[in-house]
Structure 1
């Protein structure tokens, strides 16, 4: 596991595009915790170069590989971060899990682009108790979301009945070779982007999903873009309703042409006795009870003084790394906070939503978890 000298945990990053470099910066800010990035793997030379420049500015010597297999074979790393394009996660993860040397893994969301691939990864990882795998559903760690979850857990709102999540934001960013413009590469917008929110719904209601109904379309973005003669097919807005085993319901309102928003995410959780809301990036939490009414609603500023780097996700990636490092250091006694099952179910919910739009009907999670293709 950790190297003997100074107990430094040595990281490798597979895929150093925008998110891979974001992980590199987060780990640099964690250097006081005894971590170092020692290797990267990426076939894309411009991404390699940008990562190398960052590492040089941090005074971290890096070994550069063009492929993940070479990085694994080098034996340099205790932990690997997988931040490659979505459609590559399955093969990369299987190669890591099947490698003779154990590497702990933090894999970016979504776990894989299909439920079948997620299940294969889950099953393969079960045979490797020497490896910890955490899925990068880091929105759980955003201070206002974490604070709202605390309020729910304390029972201040009573049993949760409804969770409404609104994400009104900018369009998808441009990625290497425009891989994120097509469903076949991303799993679809509701898998690629929204597995975060399906994961949060599950967390807040404390139950597993049963069925999903969605309506969505490509209405504004990417319609005039052409790549290799093809027009993007990723949706840019949707409404999704999720029903859970305990009778709770979740609703997602997604719009990716809504730059004119004060907050990118607004999360509302309503229980039998009260209501709580979280706002990002304002980092505000509001909560109140039915009995006390509107005048007694409290407003809190949510922050976390452990965060040394805010980055692209309001400090949540930093906290995600802190949490995973703690699980690694306790040699697995402390399980990763977001495990493979969480990753699998968040993808299954996104797949069900994508399928619901296509079929124009409710889709059960049982259907999406079945092996057959639709």
Structure 2
């Protein structure tokens, strides 16, 4: 197989990020784009790509080797149905669905799919995050006991029709945004969630906006605590109105031997071994660099480019599918548990969420 020919479903903000990163891969090209909005197709910057308004037409097109699904969250099931029938490799953006029923439907069809099905979880592929996770998995912190994550960032970006302002389209902030972090929790701890408690609210953002006559209903700040089946605990601190924060993402693992911190940006990892009370600190800081072109091509600290390299290896049979549909399903389940917890002001056992599917 020569350079892969991609079909892109959804040419909004995330679809265009995929297009820019595919352009960085030698030999790869975008051969077809799909979007019902002509303005989105025009803005994709793919003058040589075949254009379609409907995914069914793409599914019958012979000029592609793999498909990227970057359409609004609630459309994924309907879009994936003809793509599963075609049998092509698929990278489907997170979250794979907005309901457990749809996530289960997708995972059940992805399992026997003859080509790779990959859930797009970019945060795993930020080079500093990959180095951080490798250190945790190598035991540098000892046995992980506590995992803390913080994302303090800007509000949700403007998208076509502001579809991302309504929970019915996104699954809610804890699904749409935080599935990244819930996936990281499972990946880092190598454990499964048991119980979720989330306290969140709609306090600052979008107060003057009206979508279909009402204010957007998406959480803009929250604290979430997750208990895992291996005894570890994880916490996510989210703020969507902290535009001026120096570090957008911070992740810390504290084990029985040391603590390891990740700061993005700038991409620093800080290793702090236990030294005993009163003794001198022995923290060591290292910086993980990221390819400048990859940094410039997206909003995920270079991750989209490195994820594409891993996806392409899987498509070529040179590597495994590293983020499966099952991973995507579990991330949706944790997000829905957090949404339920914030709404009902109670801890939610994960078996409730899985049983609802």
Quick check: TM above 0.5? yes
Gaps of 5+ in 2: none
Contact persistence 1:78–1:102 (CA under 8 A) = no
1:48 to 41, 53, 65: 41
What does residue range 309-320 of structure 1 map to in structure 2 within 5 Å? 309-310=294-295, 311-320=298-307
2:105 to 120, 128, 145: 120
Displacement of 1:327 in angstroms is 0.7
1:169 to 147, 150, 153: 153
Contact persistence 1:166–1:254 (CA under 8 A) = yes
How many residues matched?
353
Distance 1:70 1:294, change over 3 A: farther
What does residue range 1-374 of structure 1 map to in structure 2 within 5 Å? 2=1, 7-30=2-25, 32=26, 34-51=27-44, 54-56=45-47, 61-97=48-84, 99=85, 101-128=86-113, 130-291=114-275, 295-304=281-290, 308-310=293-295, 311-330=298-317, 334-371=319-356
Displacement of 1:304 in angstroms is 4.5
Contact persistence 2:142–2:258 (CA under 8 A) = yes
Gaps of 5+ in 1: none
Displacement of 1:239 in angstroms is 0.3
Q: Which consecutive segments of 4 or more residues in structure 1 shift more than 2 A?
A: 291-295
User: Within 1, Cα distance between the matches of 2:346 and 2:332?
Assistant: 19
User: Within 2, Cα distance between the matches of 1:204 and 1:288?
Assistant: 18
Q: Secondary structure at the match of 1:149?
A: helix
Distance 1:294 1:257, change over 3 A: farther
TM-score using structure 2 length: 0.96
TM-score using structure 1 length: 0.92
User: Within 1, Cα distance between the matches of 2:107 and 2:307?
Assistant: 20
Contact persistence 1:288–1:294 (CA under 8 A) = no
Q: Secondary structure at the match of 1:75?
A: coil
Contact persistence 2:275–2:282 (CA under 8 A) = no
Displacement of 1:195 in angstroms is 0.4
User: Within 2, Cα distance between the matches of 1:27 and 1:160?
Assistant: 36
Deviations along 1:69-127, one digit per CA (max 9) or x if unpaired, are: 11111222110000000110111122211x2x321001111011111111111111223
Deviations along 1:321-357, one digit per CA (max 9) or x if unpaired, are: 0000001111xx6321111111111110000000001
User: Within 2, Cα distance between the matches of 1:204 and 1:91?
Assistant: 32
Displacement of 1:294 in angstroms is 5.7
User: Within 2, Cα distance between the matches of 1:336 and 1:126?
Assistant: 11
CA RMSD between the two structures = 1.4
Displacement of 1:308 in angstroms is 4.1
